[in-house]
Each structure stands twice: as C-alpha cells, then as structure tokens.
Amino acid sequence: MKILVLSGSPKSEQSATLQSVNYLINRHLAHDFKIIHLIRHLKAYEKGPDQMKPLLDELGQSEVVLWVFPVYHSLVPAHYKRFIELIFEYGLEDAFKDRYGAIFTTSVHFADNNAQDYLQGILEDLGMRFIDGLSHEMKDLLEASRRRELDLFFTNIANHVTQRMLTPRNQAPVPTHRRPYLAGAGGEKIATDRRFVVVTDATDKDRNLLEMIKALVSVIDGKVSIRNLHEVEISQYCLGCCHCGYDNTCAIKDGYREFLDGVIQDADILIYALAVHDRYFSSRFKLYLDRSFTYNHVPIMRGKQVAYLVSGPVSHLGNLRQIIQHDHQGHSNLVGIVSDEAGDDPTVDALIRDLVRKAVDFSHTGYFRSPTFLGIAQRHIFSTMVRGFLGAIFRADYRYYQKEGYLKPELPGLKERGTAMLMRHMMGKARFRNQVTKDMTRHMIASHVKFLEGEGYR
C-alpha cells in the first residue's frame, strides 16, 4: 500500500506529530510512505497549479492520503489552510476524488474535535473516502496503550484499502451561491462612546462583506476603526517554536504584534468581518489567529464584546459556529453573528443595526454570559496543562493563571465535603434513602424556594 503523508507542522522533520508517522513507518515496512512537508512548498504552490505537479504525481500513485498536523487554534495551521484553499482555487478536486483519506492530529485535546470535523468535511468535499481520524496528545507515542491504538488505526486504514470498503458521507455539501447584498440608505444611528474596531480580511472581490461593513459603520454615531489584515506586515506563519512561552515575545519580528496590541488596546467592541472560505474563514484570518499565540493561552480579548459579520452560509456550518462560540466563553462575550444569508437587504440591514445596539448595551451594562461546557472545559484543560510540566515552558501563562487563581484545585469547601460525607453514609441506610428519593424533587428546589420567599433579593 502506498501512503501519501501531507505533513502540516511548521517544524517539518522535528515535528512531534510526525514522530507518530515515523513509528508507523518503522512498524509497517511492507508499505510505502511518502512524506510531503507542505510548509516548505507552499510559496511555490502559490505561484500556480503547475508547481503542484510533483505532489499530484505522488497523489496519483497513492491509495491513501494521511493528513497529519498539530492543532492550531481549533483548526489546521494557517499554512495548511492555505494549501486547502489552493486545491479549490486551482480546481484540483478530481485529483483527490475516490482516494481514501485519514486524519491524525496532536494537541492538548482542546478543540481537536473541531479541527478534525473541519478537515473531514473538506475531504468529503474533495470526493475522498474518509476512513477515520485519530487525535493524540503530544506524548502519547511514549505510552504502550496509545501505540497500540495507533497500530489499530493503521490496521483500519489498511483494511479499508484492501477490502475496498465503502465510506458514508457525514457532512452535507456547503451551499456556494451568495445573493448580492447592498447596504440600505442610512436610517437610525446609535450614539455611543464605546470604541468599535473592525478586523477584516475583505478584498475588492468580497462585495457583500464590504457592504456589510458599510452598513455597520453607517449606524454607529461614534468612533469606528477598520483594520484590514491584508494591510498588516505578517512575514511568516507561526513557527510553533514556543519562544513566546516565557514572556510573550514572538521570535518573528514583523508588524503583527504591533497590530494585535493595537486591536486589544483600542477596542471596547470588536467586530470580525469575514467571508467563508470552504468550511471556515480565510487562511489570512487563520494566520492572524495563529500568530496571536504569542500570548499563549491567556484570553487576550478579555472584557470585550465581540460580534461577527459573515458573508457566507454560516448557518450550514455548525462546526464553525461552535469554534466561534468557544473562542468567546467567559472572558469576552459573543454578542452575535449576522450573515448575508439571513434574508433580503432590509432584513440584513436591521440585523446589523440590532447587533450594534446589543453590543453597545452589553458593553455599558457589563453583560457577559457565564461559560458553558465549551468554556469550562477549556479552562480546565489549560489550567491542568499549566499546573503540569508545560507550565515550565509557558511561564507567562503560569504567572497569569496564578494571578487569576486558576491554578488552585477546584475542590468543594470543608463544610460541603463534610455534608457530602455524612450524606454518603446515610444514603447507605435503606430507610433514609427511601425517604430522600421519595421527596427528591422537593429537596432539589428547597434552597431556591427559601431564597425566593425571602426579601433579600428584592
């Protein structure tokens, strides 16, 4: 079996993710693996489809494509995203059609499900036969149980190929038609002293998105700053070097950090104005997010109201919506998402106006939704990570998490633990247990009823 490995780490051979592929190569000598480090070739690929011919030749001889990458900011790294965009821009989908595909990722298990769901959808859009995805933590290769899992993952791939097994499509195609949108002529303005910053990647081709930005600006009676990512000097993709771990200083010296700090300092209300590219936003926006790792796992948009103007079928992309949601849990507040698919021009105009109204109201009142599972799990994962060995690498994280009290184990108080211990003992007695379960519903709301019957909250 010939396997083409599309490696997405910026560290190429030094990638921790790739070591798991090396393990498979050493274990399965009868199979032929060809590894292509995409970041090395991306600049050439961007010059035109002819530059991708060597890759396509390898693809034509391969039975399986193994997509391998570390998870960066809930997705594939920005350069990997750019490679995917080029496939569609050059019309190369047929080169991938009917070939088997599988995904292997490494991460700290934060949003790895989103990264894999995104890429699975892409593989299905390319007409590939998606087999399986496996997500490991960086050090899992050192554990015997995880190595066995990796072997079984490969065995499953081999079985699909040798037995020519069918694979179902799990994600529906994304609608591509976009109705032209034109912003309405003025209307009610909303006066505010809050500072709006719009971060966009719009080009002249993104007419709907530019009109949505126009509509937004037209209803704000206050300060609005528009920052376009194409006007920022971003010279390189994130290196994954962790140089920033000690004091948030990036190893790359260009205009990015000044831009990011300007957004953080200037915005009370942050608006992301973006167009859908395949099943996510553009690789340029993904580059903006990846490079924000200079602040590691610190919530840099803390205290801000954040909203999205989207050109594209975001209502059809549940995975994208979930990524947006967990990006703004507890520290920043997601005001809402308005898309140009929402209706006719007056409806979109009204939705944008109401989005501004809500953002201003939320900013003045300090309204922040409490985190859901997405935010609570995120904080737990990162706090556990920082308490452990990685806290020595990410010293800036450690200092921040220590200051915020996130490093303390979230244990119940002494009184609660004592009450729980007593209840566990008593619930072992049938008579007591029967009485409690008989009145369980009343017990569940007893403290609420007591509170509501009191006067203290009025």
CB atoms within 10 A of CB 319: 20
Question: Coil, strand, or helix at residue 227?
Answer: strand
Nearest to 116 by CA among 100, 105, 128, 129: 105
Whether 7 and 58 share a structural domain: yes
CA dist 321 and 243 (Å) reads 31
In a domain, 309, yes or no: yes
Q: For 260-288, how does the pLDDT look when each residue is reduced to its tens digit (9 = 90+)?
A: 999 999 999 999 999 999 999 999 999 99
Whether 125 and 149 share a structural domain: yes
In a domain, 326, yes or no: yes
CATH number at residue 195: 3.40.50.360
Q: For 79-100, how does the pLDDT look when each residue is reduced to its tens digit (9 = 90+)?
A: 999 999 999 999 999 999 999 9
In a domain, 115, yes or no: yes
> CA of 391: how far to CAs of 178, 240, 249, 407, in Å?
46, 16, 16, 10
CA dist 433 and 119 (Å) reads 50
User: Which residue type does 147 have?
Assistant: R
> CA of 433: how far to CAs of 423, 424, 440, in Å?
10, 10, 10
pLDDT of residue 458: 66
> CA of 453: how far to CAs of 6, 364, 427, 443, 447, in Å?
64, 31, 29, 16, 10
Question: Coil, strand, or helix at residue 238?
Answer: coil
Nearest to 119 by CA among 102, 143, 106: 102
Whether 150 and 245 share a structural domain: no
In a domain, 178, yes or no: no
Ordered strands of the 224-228 beta sheet: 224-228, 196-200, 269-275, 305-311, 333-339
- As a whole number, mean pLDDT of residues 368-380 equals 92
- As a whole number, mean pLDDT of residues 291-318 equals 96
Residue 90: φ, ψ to 5°: -90, -5
Whether 378 and 281 share a structural domain: no
What's the distance, Cα to Cα, between the start and end of the chain in Å?
72
Whether 93 and 47 share a structural domain: yes
In a domain, 123, yes or no: yes
More confident residue, 454 or 7: 7
Nearest to 108 by CA among 257, 293, 251, 282: 293
Whether 149 and 52 share a structural domain: yes
Whether 24 and 53 share a structural domain: yes
Q: Full-prediction pTM beyond 0.85?
A: yes
CA dist 291 and 257 (Å) reads 8
Confidence of residue 453 (pLDDT cuts 50, 70, 90): confident
Whether 17 and 60 share a structural domain: yes
CA dist 328 and 299 (Å) reads 9
Q: H or E stretch including 314?
A: none
How do 224-228 and 100-107 pair as beta strands? unpaired
CB atoms within 10 A of CB 208: 23
Query: Across the chain, what does the average pLDDT equal?
Result: 94
Question: Coil, strand, or helix at residue 305?
Answer: strand
Nearest to 241 by CA among 2, 8, 6, 10: 10
Whether 423 and 322 share a structural domain: no
User: Which residue type does 93 have?
Assistant: E
pLDDT of residue 456: 63
Identify the domain containing residue 206 by its residue range: 190-365
Whether 345 and 216 share a structural domain: yes
Q: For 395-431, how does the pLDDT look when each residue is reduced to its tens digit (9 = 90+)?
A: 999 999 999 988 887 777 888 889 889 989 998 999 9
pLDDT of residue 56: 97
How do 32-37 and 333-339 pair as beta strands? unpaired
CA dist 278 and 172 (Å) reads 12
In a domain, 250, yes or no: yes
Whether 428 and 399 share a structural domain: no
Contact 105, 112 (CB under 8 A): yes
In a domain, 340, yes or no: yes
**Residue in the structure block whose two tokens are 């599972």:** 373
Contact 136, 150 (CB under 8 A): yes
CA dist 99 and 65 (Å) reads 7
> CA of 279: how far to CAs of 105, 321, 446, in Å?
18, 11, 47
- As a whole number, mean pLDDT of residues 169-175 equals 95
Total residues found in the chain within this entry: 458
Share of the chain above pLDDT 90, in %: 86
CB atoms within 10 A of CB 120: 23
Give, as one character, the DSSP assignment of residue 76. Answer: S
Q: Is the pLDDT of residue 443 over 70?
A: yes
Window from 132-146, 202-216, 376-390 with minimum mean pLDDT:
376-390
In a domain, 171, yes or no: no
Q: Is the pLDDT of residue 28 over 80?
A: yes
Query: Considering its fold, how many domains does the chain have in total?
Result: 4
Q: What tokens were used for 91? A: 């019309």
Q: For 319-328, how does the pLDDT look when each residue is reduced to its tens digit (9 = 90+)?
A: 999 999 999 9
Whether 149 and 113 share a structural domain: yes
What are the residues facing 336 on neighbouring strands?
A: 307
CB atoms within 10 A of CB 2: 13
CA dihedral 237, 241, 247, 252 (to 10 degrees): -40
pLDDT of residue 169: 95
CA dist 70 and 103 (Å) reads 11
